[in-house]
Structure 1
Amino acid sequence: MQEKINRILHAAERLLATYGVDGIRLKDIAAEAGVSIGLIQHHFGSRDAVVREMLVSASRRRLANWTAQLDGVEDSQTRLRLLLAGALSSRERCILWTESCAAASRHDFLQPLVSQTNDEWRRWVLETLERGRVDGTFNLHASAPDTARILVALVDGLMVAVAADDAGTSTESASTLLLMAAAPHVGLDVL
C-alpha cells in the first residue's frame, strides 16, 4: 500500500511542476499514479490533503538529501558551496519550489509548510556560516542570521530565473552566479 501512496505523492509532485497547485485535479493525480480516485480519497480525503502531504514528503526528502550531502564534510567552504549549488540542482526542483511559494501566497494551508521548508534550509546555511566564522574560514560582513537570509533570498531569486527560463538561465549558470554573489558576503574572493 505504501508503494501506491508514494506513487500518488510523486504524481502530485510532477503535476505541480506542470500545472501549479491550482491546476491539479484528483482525476489527473489518479491517472498519473495509475490508481483510482477512490483510493486517493480513501487515503487522503481531498485534493488539498494530497497536495499538503506531497509538500511534507518533498520537504522531508530535501532534508534527508541535505543531511546526506553534508555528512562527513567538515570544511565550511565546501559545505556552503554544496548547500548553495545543491539548491539549484534541477530545473524541476526550481519549478516546484517557485510553484509552492506562489501557492502558499494563495492557500493558507500551504504557507506553514513552505515556511517550515525554508526555515530548515536556512538553518543548514546558518549553521554552516557560524561554523565557518568560528573556524576562521568566513569573515561575514553582516550577522550570520542576516547573511543566511541574504543567501536564501539569492537562491530564491535564481530559482525563479531557472524555473522561468529567464534569458536561458540554466541550473549551471544560476549556480555560478549564486556562488559569485555569495562569496563577498562571507568574506571570500571566490566560493
Structure 2
Amino acid sequence: MERVEIRPRPWLLGMVLAGALGFSAFGLAAVVYGDSGAIAFGLVTVIFFGGGTTSAMLIMARRRFVSLTLTPLGIEVNGGLIPWEDVQAVGVMKASTELLGIRLARYDRYVASMMPADRIVAEERMRWFLRPIAAIDGLFPGAGLGNIARTASSLERGLRLGRNRFGWEFVFSPVMIDRPLVSFVAFVEDYRRSSPPARDS
C-alpha cells in the first residue's frame, strides 16, 4: 500500500491565518490603548495568536505542511509512528466545534519511534500551546487551567493530560485535514482494514 500524506486545505488555512492576524491586531490595540487589564489580555492574545501561529507555521513548513501520514504500519504524527494495533480509535471530537481525535491504547512504541530532535520539538510545541493557558488561569483565578500547563513536563504526560481532559491524545482542527471529518474517519478505517496485519514485535 502507498503512504498517504494528509495536508491542510489551502483555502481553509488561509482563512485561519487571516483570523489569527485579526486577533493579533486586536490584542496589539488593547496593549497600546487599554488599561492594565486590557493590556494583560492583549499580551496573551498577541502571544497566543501571533506567536503561536508563527510557531505552528514554522513547524508545519518543516514538515512540508503534512499534518499526518497514513502508512501500512500505522499513523505518523509529529515525527513518530503510532502502530495500527496501538490506535484505539479515530473519531470526531465534539466540542464547541468538531475536531479530529486519535485515541491511543499505549504510548511507549510511539514515543520510542521518535528521533530525539522530533521529541524535543513535540514537547516544546506542547509547552508553547499550554503557556497561554497558564496565563489565562492567572487572569481568571479559579479557571483550573494553570495546573495542566505546569504539569505537562513530558510528552507522555502531555498525552495523558489530553486523554484525561478531552478523551483523545491527539486532536486536529478540521483545517489540518484534507476532507470533511466524517469522510476522513471513514477513509482512515478503510485504509486500516486494507493494511497488512502487523507482525508480532
Q: TM-score, normalised by structure 2?
A: 0.32
Q: TM-score, normalised by structure 1?
A: 0.33
Comparing both structures, which one devotes a greater share of its residues to strand?
Answer: 2
Larger relative contact order (C-alpha < 8 A, sep ≥ 6)? 2
